[in-house]
Structure 1
């Protein structure tokens, strides 16, 4: 039993170090607070992929009674530790991503055009911001052919544990 307890404590210590390191990157004033707009980036850098709705729920949990536009480390650490221990907001696997692209590729070409990708990103599901869309296009679209060879891209999108 003691070994299990030690292993659990070591896991928590390791997770909290990762969380602290990720938070510190964005703590520009070194005052244990970060801009609320940076929290999504920090959370995603820790391998979690919450939806915008889930992110807003987490922020509501971490924010003070009076939102200041900043999140304090002492609120972020326990929330994020719990999220990571419970393995919440895990990224999906590349075969599921691949199947999603195949569904969108109605003619089974093996790629989507840049225009098709933009259309799906703006008209279906949770819309992407302009910045997210540009980031995805620059990563996914082959600039010479103006297409997304999605088999290669699906593998790139997966975060390895």
Structure 2
């Protein structure tokens, strides 16, 4: 039975390492190296949603000599620990939807780009202009130029079954 448990743990570790390496690979600049600015995106793609402070701490742990680059050899063990300990879980869909409803004071079912930009750049952990531009490009309705939050909540969350 002990051997079976060890085999199961090894399989789990192997799968975690495969997921991390695949996510890292999508953003690599050179062999086994990514730009430090991609670490948040890599973590999000792995289902981890750290605060800006947690992300900064994680980067400080894995970045070598403030070079602006992260090597897989340092990222892999740190990210493995994050995944196995279930750190930085996603926000449940209901909470995200409720947050949008609070922002939508007139219960329209959508937010204007200017409205969302104001909230996202001036409240809480502010988005940069580049992050806002990306968000508005990704989520604005092509025809009406508004953000229908009901339709995008599922794109901003991860199904816990996955």
Same fold (TM over 0.5): yes
Shift of 1:37: 2.0
Which structure 2 residue ranges, 5 or more long, are not aligned?
A: none
In structure 2, the CA distance between the partners of 1:113 and 1:34, relative to structure 1 (3 Å rule), is closer
TM-score (norm 1): 0.89
Counterpart contact for 2:20–2:46, Cα < 8 Å = yes
1:19 aligns with 2:20: yes
- C-alpha distance after superposition, 1:29-75 (max 9, x if no partner): 21x222222222222221211122111100111123x3222222211
Residues 56 and 6 of structure 1: is their aligned pair in 2 closer, same or farther, counting only changes over 3 Å?
A: same
What is the aligned partner in structure 2 of residue 40 from structure 1?
40
CA RMSD of aligned residues (A): 1.7
Aligned to 1:108: 107
- How many angstroms does 1:117 deviate by? 1.0
Partner of 2:63 in structure 1? 63
TM-score (norm 2): 0.88
The answer (yes or no) to whether the contact 2:29–2:35 under 8 Å persists in 1 is no
Q: Does the CA contact (< 8 Å) of 2:101 and 2:107 recur in 1? A: yes
Aligned length: 159
The answer for the alignment partner of 1:9 in structure 2 is 10
Secondary structure at 1:112 match in 2: coil
Cα deviation, residue 109, structure 1: 1.9
Q: Which consecutive residues of structure 1, in runs of 5 or more, have no partner in the other structure?
A: none
